[in-house]
Amino acid sequence: MNNKILNLDFSNTEIAFRSKNNSELQTSYYLFKAIGINWLVKMGTPAIELAFKLRLPIKGLIKKTVYQQFVGGENINDCEKAIENMHKFNIGTILDYSVEGKEEENDFDHTCAETILTIKKAENNPKIPFCVFKVTGLGRFALLEKMNSGEANITEGELAEYSRVKFRIDKICKAAFDRNVRIFIDAEESWIQTTIDRLAHEMMLKFNKQQAIVFNTIQLYRHDRLAFLKDSLQLAKDSGYFLGVKLVRGAYMEKESKRALENNYTNPIQPSKEASDSDYDAALKFCVENVSNISICAGTHNEASSRILAELMQSHQLVNNDQRVYFSQLYGMSDNLSYNLANAGYNVAKYLPYGPVKSVMPYLFRRAAENTSVKGQTSRELKLIMQEKNRRAKLK
C-alpha cells in the first residue's frame, strides 16, 4: 500500500504548465484576461452568433484562440495532438463530441455514431480511459422533459421516438461494454434528470455486473443529490451491479434558479456554495468508504476537494493509481490540479471536447459564462499563468 506522506503542491506552476511553450502560455494569458471581463463575455456571445449568421470569416480566429485553449479540434483525428501531449505527462483524455442543441433524428443518429467512434478509439488505449455522451445529444429536450414530468398525454409517436432514444443509448453502452471502455452519462437540467437517472440505472443494470462500465453523473450543487448517491448505491447492491459515478458540483445554476422562481417550485440548488462544498466532500468520503462497490471520477476544479480525495485515499490505504478512483478537469482549465496530481501518480483525465466550430460554440459559451460566474476561477487561472511567466523570465 502507498503510505507516502501527501506532498501535493497545486501552486507548482513549473509542473502545471510544462506542456505549454511560451507562445501557448501567452495565448492562455490573453484568453483568460478576456474571459475575466464580464461585459466582454456577455457582448461577445451574441456578437459571435451574429457573425456566424452573417457568414463573416471568423472561424480562423476562433480556432487560433478559444478553440486552441478549450477544444481538441473539429473531428476526432484533430484530437490526436492534444491526446498525445497530455499522455506525455500521464494525463488521460475523455473524448467528448460536444455538439449541442440539435433537434432532428438524423442529427441524433450522427451523434450516436460519433460517440461509438470515440469508444472504438479508446479500445485498448490507455491514453483514453473514458468516453462520454449527453442524453440530449441523442433525443429532443422537449421529449425528455415530457417523459420526466410523467404526463399522461404522451402520444404513440412520442413513445416511439423515446424508444429510439433508448435504442441509441443502449447501442453506445453495449459498444462500451464490448470494448471494455468506461462511459459517462452527463448530468443535465433537473427537469429532465429523473429520466436520465432512470436510463443510467437501466444501463448499469445491464452492463455493470462485473465492473463499473457505465457511470451516472451527480451534481452536488443540488441539495437532494447526496441522498440520491446513497440511494443509488443501495439500488446497485439490491440489483447486483457495480455503481459508477462522476461527481461534479454542477453547470446550470442560474438557469435552475430562474426556472424555479418563474414556476414557483422549490429551487433544487443548494442555499450556499458552502453547502455545495460540504455535500461534495461528503460524497467523496461516501464513495471512498464504499469503493468495493463504487467506482468514482471526481470532476472538480476545486483544490480543497482534490486534496480531500487524495487524503481519503491515503487513509483508506488505496494506492494513488487505484483504477476505481479518478480525478478529472476540463481541457484548458485547472492545469495546476491536473498536472500536479498526475505527477504525484494519481489517475487524471481531462474532458477533451471536439466538433465543428459552429456546433461547439454553445459549449464554449457555457464555459465562458461559468468562468465569469464562478468566483475567483478566472483570476486563479491568470495568477498561476503570470506566476509561471515570471518564473520562466527569471531563467533567461
What's the gap between Cα 335 and its chain centre? 15
Amino acid at 269: I
Q: What is the pLDDT of residue 369?
A: 63
Residues 380-390 pLDDT 10s: 899 999 999 99
pLDDT at 222 over 60: yes
**All three cell numbers of 166:** 433508448
Instruction: Round to whole Å and give the CA distance between 12 and 329.
Output: 17
Q: pTM higher than 0.85, yes or no?
A: yes
CA 219 to CA 208: how far, in whole Å?
Answer: 21
Closest CA to 182 of 125, 239, 100, 261: 125
Residue 83 pLDDT greater than 80, yes or no: yes
pLDDT of residue 361: 79
Mean pLDDT rounded to a whole number for the chain: 91
Could you give the percent of the chain with pLDDT greater than 70? 92
pLDDT score, position 43: 62
Percent of all residues in the chain with a pLDDT value above 90, rounded to a whole number: 76
Query: pLDDT value at position 374?
Result: 52
pLDDT of residue 1: 41
Largest CA distance in the chain: 71
pLDDT classification of 206: cutoffs 50, 70, 90 = very high
Q: Which residue has the cell 458552502?
A: 274
Q: Tell me: the pLDDT tens digits for 272-311? A: 999 999 999 999 999 999 999 999 999 999 999 999 999 9
Instruction: Note the pLDDT tens digit of each residue in 342-382.
Output: 999 999 999 999 999 878 877 777 666 665 555 566 788 99
Q: What are phi and psi of 255, to 5 degrees?
A: -65, -40
In the block, cell 483514453 appears at: 128
pLDDT in tens, 123-152: 999 999 999 999 999 999 999 999 999 877
Taking only Cα atoms into account, the Rg of the chain, rounded to an integer number of angstroms, comes to: 21
